[in-house]
Amino acid sequence: MVTRYSKVAITLHWLIALLIIGQFAGGKIMMAMEGSPLKFELFQLHKSFGIIILLLSLLRLMWRLTHKAPPLPETMPKHEKLAAKISHIGFYGLMIGIPLAGWAMVSAAPIRITTKIFKVVKWPDMPFIARSENLEKTFSQTHEIMSTLIIVLLLIHIGAAFKHHFKDKDDVMTRMVPRLKPKA
């Protein structure tokens, strides 16, 4: 029986988590830099990392759909199992939805600025998105709300992992944390 996630799943989990936290912090810093010439460069980096998160999240979703996750403990209450399932669906929706909303926002912007991933690979605008200030604002608000939601979900996720590890003393956290050994 599988008791841990695969190395690929674990690597994608932690890499995407770190990128999301960095994007959230960087986004807040970037938005506070009114009038700074560095703001444009940070926006370009933010878009580059957002695209990387989108691609990694799609890869992670494909991996998850083709590789069975370790089962949750049989002692876990049904409502916690349901909450875990809903939160994972929420994470996938947000990990994919946030970059898509950002991409749509950039594509709708009345002022055309070419996106190049790390100044090298040109990334196209999203097809079928009209250039509109109102549409850009809608996508911007969506991007920001979803970004806040993923941080809230992340904090709940971390709290639940600690609860399982330290209070319930089960193996939920050991399934995803490298070098953390399952309990005997």
Residues 6+ positions from 105 with CB-CB distance below 8 Å: 136, 139, 140, 142, 143
Give 7-69+81-175's CATH code, choosing from 1.10.10, 1.10.357, 2.30.29, 1.20.950: 1.20.950
Q: For 160-173, what is each residue's pLDDT tens digit? A: 999 998 998 888 88
Closest by Cα among 55, 44, 47 to 15 = 55
Q: What is the DSSP letter of 168?
A: I
Residue 36 pLDDT: 87
CB-side neighbour CA atoms (13 Å) of 52: 19
| Angstrom distance (rounded) from CA 24 to CA 18 | 10
Closest by Cα among 145, 42, 51, 32 to 107 = 51
The answer to whether 21 and 93 have CB atoms below 8 angstroms apart is no
Q: For 63-78, what is each residue's pLDDT tens digit? A: 999 999 999 988 899 9
Residue 182's pLDDT band, with cuts at 50, 70 and 90, is: low
Residue 184 pLDDT: 55
Query: What are the residue ranges spanned by the domains of the chain?
Result: 7-69+81-175
Alpha-carbon dihedral angle through residues 136, 138, 141, 147, given to the nearest 10 degrees? -80
Amino acid identity of residue 9, one-letter, is: A
Whether this model's pTM surpasses 0.75: yes
Both tokens assigned to 135: 């549409």
C-alpha distance across the termini of the chain, in Å: 15
Q: For 27-58, what is each residue's pLDDT tens digit? A: 999 989 888 889 889 999 999 999 999 999 99
